[in-house]
Amino acid sequence: MNIFGKSSDRFCDGHSRRQFLKAGSLGLGGLALPDLLRAEAMSAAGGSNKSVIMIYLPGGPPHQDMYDLKMDAPSEIRGEFRPISTSVAGIQICEHLPQIAKLADKLAFIRTMVGAKDRHESFQCMTGRLNERTPPGGWPEFGSVVSKLQGTKDATLSSYVNLSPKMRHAPYNFGKPSFLGFGHTPFMPSGDIMSDMVLQGITSDRLASRKKLLESVDRFRRDIDKSGVMEGLDSFQSRAFEILTSSRMLEALDVSKEPTSVKERYGNGTDKE
For the segment 223-241, the average pLDDT, to the nearest whole number, is 58
- DSSP code per residue over 198-222: --TT--HHHHHHHHHHHHHHHHHHH
Do 130 and 252 share a domain, yes or no? yes
Do 95 and 187 share a domain, yes or no? no
Whether residue 9 is predicted with pLDDT greater than 60 in this model: the reply is no
User: Quick one: which H or E segment has residue 41?
Assistant: helix 33-45
Flag whether 57 is in a domain.
Answer: no
The amino acid present at 213, given as its one-letter code, is L
Q: In this predicted structure, what is the pLDDT of residue 33?
A: 47
Whether residue 243 is predicted with pLDDT greater than 80 in this model: the reply is no
Flag whether 164 is in a domain.
Answer: yes
DSSP letter assigned to residue 78: S
Flag whether 165 is in a domain.
Answer: yes
Per-residue pLDDT band at 85 (split at 50, 70, 90):
very high
Do 156 and 247 share a domain, yes or no? yes
Residue 11, CA distances (Å) to 22, 171, 209, 248 in order: 15, 33, 63, 52
- The winner for highest mean pLDDT among 63-77, 155-169, 201-215 is 63-77
How many structural domains comprise the chain?
A: 2
Mean residue pLDDT across the chain: 71
Q: Which of 35-39, 97-101, 200-204, 265-269 has the lowest mean pLDDT?
A: 35-39
9 with 2: CB under 8 angstroms? yes
User: Quick one: which H or E segment has residue 131?
Assistant: none
Q: Which residue has the higher pLDDT, 171 or 83?
A: 83
Compute, in degrees rounded to 10, the torsion defined by CA atoms 226, 227, 228, 230: -80
Range of the domain at 151: 122-257
Per-residue pLDDT band at 28 (split at 50, 70, 90):
very low
DSSP letter assigned to residue 196: -
Do 192 and 135 share a domain, yes or no? yes
Do 75 and 142 share a domain, yes or no? no
For the segment 2-27, the average pLDDT, to the nearest whole number, is 52
Do 189 and 227 share a domain, yes or no? yes
Flag whether 72 is in a domain.
Answer: yes
Per-residue pLDDT band at 254 (split at 50, 70, 90):
confident
Per-residue pLDDT band at 192 (split at 50, 70, 90):
low
Q: Which of 14-23, 64-73, 134-143 has the lowest mean pLDDT?
A: 14-23
Flag whether 18 is in a domain.
Answer: no
Flag whether 116 is in a domain.
Answer: no
